């Protein structure tokens, strides 16, 4: 599913962001803390009240879709989402089926299979009966991802999905997301992981200051200006890919 955003804005926090994300693309958002990544993701999901600008999903204006229609197309995993209810892992993932259910089509065996597959995709199938409160941070994160997968969206919006995950699960998640036949937009902090995206948007102070292929966008110059680090690009001889080593800026600000 193709996403077009024109002149998106919310207060002073996101300003004039226009971007087009292609069908099936994995699009990364990077930027310093507080640069507006989470806010932009919520704008793309149509969740900010009194937002400026417009979003189209495959040419259909988001503003003209009902919440249910949006949820059938687009799933969002937010940075912090917790519950005090004594839900089990399976209960939490079941919630992903909500936009597809109605009194006439209640939760059935197909829905259960979709939930099972989503649990397996994040390696949580063995913990389906565990209580939410007993999960570790990384396990909770994986349940959220499974919930979003169970929504069977065509656009997956993830806010720092690798947060809390151990290195194995970080790589597994990025591999999973890259292999999904859906459009993915995700905020990332690890710039080496961001190199795996098809394209990147760089946020700084509420604006998208650069957008393009990772190698074109994450230049040492940009990294110094926006992220205030000295980046040393290094080539992995086994496959020729670029890695960064980060050093503090020589001159303090």
Partner 1 sequence: MTRRAALSALAVPVLSRAGLGAVLLALAVLAGVTIGEVALPLGLVGDLLAVKLLGIERALDPIEAGILWSYRLPRTLVAAACGAGLALSGVVLQALVRNALADPYLLGVSAGAGAGAVAVTLLGLGGGAIGLSAGAFGGAASAFLIVALLAKAAGGGPAQLVLAGIAGSQLFNALTSFFIAKSANAEQARGLMFWLLGNLSGVRWPDVSLALPVVGLGFLVCLAHVRPLDAFSFGSGAAASLGIAVRRVQLVLIAAVTLMTATLVSLVGSIGFVGLVIPHAMRFLVGPRHARLIPASALAGAVFLIAADIAARVLIPGQVVPIGVVTALVGAPGFALILIRNRRRS
The residues binding Mg ion (CB under 5 A) are 37-38, 79
Q: Does 13 bind ligand ATP (CB under 6 A)?
A: yes
Binding site for partner 1 (CB under 8 A): 42, 45, 47, 66-72, 74-76, 78, 81-87, 91-92, 95-96, 98-99, 101, 103, 105-106, 108-110, 133, 151
Q: How many residues does the chain have?
A: 253
Q: Which is nearer to ligand ATP, 31 or 153 (CB)?
A: 31
Q: How far is CA 90 from the centre of its chain?
A: 22
Q: Does 35 bind ligand ATP (CB under 6 A)?
A: yes
Q: Are 146 and 73 in contact (CB under 8 A)?
A: no
Q: Which region, left, alpha or beta, applies to residue 57 given φ > 0 means left and ψ of -120 to 50 means alpha?
A: beta
Q: Which is nearer to Mg ion, 33 or 251 (CB)?
A: 33
13 binds, among partner 1, Mg ion, ligand ATP, none (CB under 5 to 8 A by kind): ligand ATP
Q: Which is nearer to ligand ATP, 38 or 141 (CB)?
A: 38
Q: Which is nearer to ligand ATP, 13 or 171 (CB)?
A: 13
Partners of 30 in beta bridges: 202
Beta strand 14-21 with 3-10 is: antiparallel
The Cα angle at residue 191 between residues 52 and 8, in degrees rounded to 5: 5
Other C-beta atoms closer than 10 Å to the C-beta of 205 total: 15
Binding site for ligand ATP (CB under 6 A): 13, 31, 33-39, 79
């Amino acid at each position: 599913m193709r996403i077009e955003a024109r002149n998106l804005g919310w207060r002073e926090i996101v300003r004039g962001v226009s971007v087009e994300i292609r069908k099936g693309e994995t699009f990364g958002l990077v930027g310093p803390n507080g640069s507006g990544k989470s806010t932009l993701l919520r704008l793309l999901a149509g969740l900010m009240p009194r937002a400026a600008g417009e979003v189209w999903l495959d040419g259909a204006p988001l503003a003209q879709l009902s919440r249910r229609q949006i949820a059938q197309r687009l799933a969002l995993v937010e940075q912090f989402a917790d519950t005090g209810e004594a839900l089990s892992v399976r209960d939490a993932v079941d919630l992903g089926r909500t936009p597809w259910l109605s009194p006439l089509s209640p939760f059935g065996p197909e829905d259960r299979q979709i939930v099972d597959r989503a649990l397996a995709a994040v390696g949580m199938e063995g913990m389906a009966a565990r209580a939410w409160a007993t999960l570790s941070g990384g396990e909770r994160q994986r349940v959220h991802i499974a919930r979003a997968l169970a929504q069977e969206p065509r656009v997956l919006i993830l806010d720092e999905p690798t947060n809390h995950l151990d290195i194995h699960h970080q790589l597994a998640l990025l591999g999973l997301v890259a292999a999904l036949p859906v459009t993915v937009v995700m905020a990332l902090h690890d710039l080496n992981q961001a190199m795996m995206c098809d394209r990147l948007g760089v946020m700084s102070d509420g604006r998208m200051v650069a957008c393009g292929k990772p190698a074109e966008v994450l230049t040492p110059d940009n990294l110094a200006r926006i992220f205030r680090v000295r980046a040393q690009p290094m080539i992995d001889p086994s496959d020729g890919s670029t890695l960064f080593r980060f050093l503090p800026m020589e001159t303090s600000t």
